[in-house]
Structure 1
Amino acid sequence: MNGELMIGDLLAALPEGRVVLDPVVVSGVSHDEAEWAPVGTAAAVVRPRSTEEVRRTVEVCLKHGAPVVPRGAGTGLSGGANAVDACVVLSLEKMASVLEINPLERLAVIQPGVINDVLRSAVAEHGLWYPPDPASSPWSTIGGNIATNAGGLCCVKYGVTRDYVLELEVVTGTAKVVRLGRRTAKGVAGYDLAGLIVGSEGTLGIVTEATVRLRPLPAPSITVVGYFSDVVSAGEAVRGAGAAGIIPAVFELVDWHCLRAVDEWKNMGLSVEAEVVLLARIDDPGATGEMAADQLVACFGAAGATWADRSTDPDEADALFAARRLAYPAVERLGPVLTEDVCVPRGQIPVMLARVEEIGRRHRVTIANIAHVGDGNLHPLLITEAGDSAARRRAQAAFEEILDAALELGGTITGEHGVGLLKAGGLERELSPEVLAMHRAVKAALDPAGLLNPGKVFARTTVSGGTQGLSG
């Protein structure tokens, strides 16, 4: 590939200002938040403002055999948006318009660069709600959420991104623009290709427009808080709630490491005297919600909570939920963080939390815990000292053991962050060779040149006949 010719063709095909060559800027948008994932050296960044500009970019890259790495806000935690050598980083941040809000059909049409919370605020003005809400919702884009099938705090009751995607406009690896899915409430014509794109991490197509399903705004919620002396007791409380049939709108675990890190960073005055906190919100209306809240308090008590009750102070409750959203960036300030994203059946949550603690002790790695415990999605945060290569090796070994523990308990290596670069080996342990071959066949059919986000998800991906690598 001749990089100079490729860049010249990009400059000729796109309006002025779309192609960025400044090495400082290129480096700054060549990676996501997965600090431990390798990063290659991109040839250029393209910031398109329309579907046609995305299509032209892919067309030029296809001509020259240059990889295309799409990205949104770069809040990912698996290396899925990391550059590969000689690639074009396609940054969709400028495609950030809410194109339509339709209250009758309860849908919205948006470009991929729209921030999650911006969409939620826009539809709230119409009495509507977009439920998927990853902890990064103030910063992450809908396009990135679609790429990883993001879930978040509300997914325990309301589902994940795939449940809300109706229709997608996509630029393929062959530089064609296609529309997948439908705007109607029902439809079974053909395969669910829109659903296939959701969670594909930019390896099957580049989303340039999305039509998403909306719901009515939920009723005011009741917050229930429980303090526990250890993560296993908290896990037993979650299992007890599930056995009782209680489905909170939000059900989160935050440990003392995370709360202390947030308090030291933001001076929020958190005065929690517990090793682990469970936070839940019940949004069932009227007597049904009141009963569920009382039952949840009882489940917390039965599992050994040191204190459990409804929150009578809405400011305090909001502060705890704000601390949950700030937990990752707060912990990141303590040192390099390797973030897990395993998901296990709810009945296995206490066992999995115990396994995480044991793995941390054995490898002498500090592990902070946050989790969407209502659906078994755990996010152990492995913390090391900067520059400590031995601690880094121990953390990486612990990371792999946590993946294996989740698989042994009937779980999965990733609930919402995606495979990216960090978990390609784990994917090969989770899926059989026959199923991996099916995945690769889909990739080859939709992206025959191997152009789109090569090296992600699968351990080896080819680009125009050669192996595309990453530099460290």
Structure 2
Amino acid sequence: MSTSRTEALWRELKAVLPPEAVVTDADVLESHRRDQAEWAPAGMPGVLVRPASTSEVQAVLRVATALRVPVVARGAGSGLSGGANAVEGGIVLSLMRMNRVLEVDRRGMFAVVQPGVLNAAVKSAAAEQGLWYAPDPASWEFSSIGGNLATNAGGLCCVKYGVTGDAVLGLEAVLADGSVVRTGGRTMKTSAGYGLTRLFVGSEGTLGIITEATLKLRPRPPPATTLLAAFPTLVSAGIAVTDIMATTRPSLLELMDRATVRAVEAHAAMGLDVESAALLLARSDAGGKQGAEETAAMAAVCEAAGATFVTQSTDEAEGELLMQARRLAYPALEKQGATLLDDVGVPLSRIPELLAAIERIATTRAVLIGTFGHAGDGNMHPTIVFDRDDAHASVRARAAFDEIVEAALALGGTITGEHGVGALKQPFLEAQLGAGGMHLHRSIKAALDPLGLLNPGKVV
């Protein structure tokens, strides 16, 4: 964008927004160029806007439409697919000033929130009313609800309680032309018209800017019983996962391979078994007799699958310590070198094959891959660790990343389970959706954003 067009953009935005909402400082713009996906392309934005209300978001989009300037919505910047990466000369629209919990209805069991509020703050507000907001991505302490909605984020508890979209009753969104739409409502179910709420959830800001969400809350579950099992091979751990899911419904079922466990242990010295090929973490939050029976059943399955060690704990502090080990997986691997984080999912019955394929790719490409993830729903995060200063290592890492995605597709899986398509996975989308699916996506995009101004270059 030329200097004159950029200056015109600044003038128009300053005319409709308060002074503090329009930021042109080069250092601040640089810090808002990208999310956590360092491999995904990012441009330098022409301006950062920080609206504090739906009406201010409307004003921004009306200016963008009039001047034909692209707009990229941004939350806390914790994304992992380049979905919030800026477009050269465009507008980055930060929603972090819209960060209030507007209402918690204890009897109706819902909360109304703005997109910039953190997941942790929603959990806290729900807990004050004796309720629980279930979606819990690993970034729950620092990721925004808007970002969770944009990617349909999952988390450790999604195996039993579903992903973010399963907890959304209704939305308010601003379309590209500045008009406002409301979808869904406050009822626990509705069949009135098309499922527009689910259309916006996971659309990564390409169809509209979400400015308010009504979220489903639940009763707080009883204290959980936690199980830890060690396995001699990744495939035996994968078999245990498929057998557990065929016989019971844990509230959490997570896997960490040897490379991940060793990285976590080097990072935090938690006394983990660094010799086993894989550790499984499982939980039952059914409580009482049913919880004990579920945990015993999972332990028996692990032993039958060849686990070398199985232990259970009803101690809440001990269970949380084990959960912390899992949550440290990605930060610990980052300490080992540059990382390229994948996010693939396969049908539960194909988990052993996916794990075997990842091992083969690590060997043939001569790269370190730490695999962890939400085994209970087939969503794994193979993380490639390499030396960013070694050009050959970078090439091998990228090849391994692509081959993991291809392996997941070959097993009937998905290119992304919860991180979103963004820019990083966009080249693979047609391989999953097919030509017909891509055509339908583009038709929906054209209907809601005919000028293609909302997060261009992402998803479709």
Listed as ranges, the matches of 1:139-150 within 5 Å are 139-150=142-153
Structure 2: where are the runs of 5+ without partners? none
Per-residue Cα deviation, 1:260-300 (whole angstroms, up to 9, x for no partner): 32333344454655331100110113222111111100111
CA–CA separation in structure 2 for the residues paired with 1:272 and 1:398: 24
Q: How far does residue 108 in structure 1 lie from its aligned partner after superposition? A: 0.1
Alignment partner, residue 337 of structure 1: 339
Match of 2:447? 445
Identity over aligned pairs, percent? 52
Which stretch shifts more, 436-445 or 183-192?
183-192
The answer (yes or no) to whether the contact 1:154–1:250 under 8 Å persists in 2 is: yes
Deviation at 1:376, TM superposition (A): 0.3
Deviation at residue 254 of structure 1 after TM alignment = 1.4
CA displacement at 1:230 relative to structure 2: 2.2
- In the alignment, structure 1 residue 66 sits paired with structure 2 residue 69: yes
> What is residue 374 of structure 1 aligned with on the other side?
376
Partner letter of residue 126 of structure 1? Q
Partner of 2:212: 209
Q: How far does residue 394 in structure 1 lie from its aligned partner after superposition?
A: 1.1
The question of 1:252 aligning with 2:254 is answered yes
Report the 3-state secondary structure (helix = DSSP H, G, I; strand = E; otherwise coil) of the residue aligned with 1:277. strand
8 A Cα contact 1:10 1:57, kept in partner: yes
Instruction: Tell me how far 1:302 sits from its aligned partner.
Output: 0.8
Q: Deviations over 1:214-249 (max 9, x none)?
A: 110011111011011221111011011123x21100
State whether residues 262 and 274 of structure 2, in contact with CA within 8 Å, keep that contact through their aligned partners in structure 1. no
Q: How many Å separate the matches in 1 of 2:240 and 2:365?
A: 28
**From 49, 55, 60, the counterpart of 2:52:** 49
| Cα deviation digits, residues 31-54 of structure 1 (max 9, x gap) | 100011111111011111111111
Q: State the distance in 1 between where 2:171 and 2:369 align.
A: 39
Shift of 1:256: 2.9
Q: 1:226 to 1:268 in 2, by over 3 A?
A: closer
In the TM superposition, what whole-angstrom CA distance separates every residue of 1:128-160 from its partner, at most 9, and x where no partner exists?
111110001011010000000011000000111
Q: Distance in 2 between matches of 1:356 and 1:255?
A: 11
Cα deviation digits, residues 99-125 of structure 1 (max 9, x gap): 000011100000001111111111011
Query: TM-score, normalized by length of structure 1?
Result: 0.94
Tell me how large the CA RMSD over aligned residues is. Answer: 1.3
Amino acid corresponding to residue 293 of structure 1 in structure 2: T
Contact in 2 for aligned 1:35/1:336 (Cα 8 Å):
no
Residue 218 (1) aligns with residue 221 (2) = yes
Give the CA deviation at 1:178. 1.4
2:111 pairs, out of 108, 112, 123, with: 108
Does structure 1 conserve the Cα–Cα contact (< 8 Å) formed by 2:225 and 2:319? Answer: no
Question: What amino acid is aligned across from residue 266 of structure 2 in structure 1?
Answer: E
Q: Deviations over 1:403-445 (max 9, x none)?
A: 1111111111111000101111211111111111000000000
SS of structure 1 residue aligned to 2:35: coil
Paired AA for residue 142 in structure 1: I
Q: Determine which of 143, 155, 161 is the counterpart of 2:158.
A: 155
Q: Structure 1 residue aligned with 2:101, among 89, 95, 98?
A: 98
In structure 2, distance between residues paired with 1:302 and 1:431: 38
Amino acid of the structure 1 residue aligned with 2:34: H
Equivalent in the alignment of 2:355: 353
Q: Which residue of 1 aligns with 2:192?
A: 189
CA shift, 1:318, in A, is 1.8
Matched, 1:27 2:33: no
Asked if 1:304 is matched to 2:306, the reply is yes
Moved more, 309-318 or 181-190: 309-318
Contact (CA 8 Å) 2:225, 2:315: kept in 1 or not? no
Aligned residues: 457
Distance 2:133 2:146 in 1: 14
1:168 maps onto 2:175 in alignment: no
Distance 2:315 2:391 in 1: 45
* Per-residue Cα deviation, 1:23-78 (whole angstroms, up to 9, x for no partner): 11111111100011111111011111111111111111111111000011111111
- Does 2:290 match 1:288? yes
The amino acid of 2:284's aligned partner reads I
Q: Is the 8 A contact 1:69 1:88 kept in 2?
A: yes
Shift of 1:311: 2.6
Output the TM-score relative to the length of structure 2: 0.97
Give the structure 1 partner of residue 413 of structure 2: 411
Where do 1:410-429 residues align within 5 Å?
410-429=412-431
Task: Check conservation: 1:150, 1:416, Cα contact below 8 A.
Answer: yes
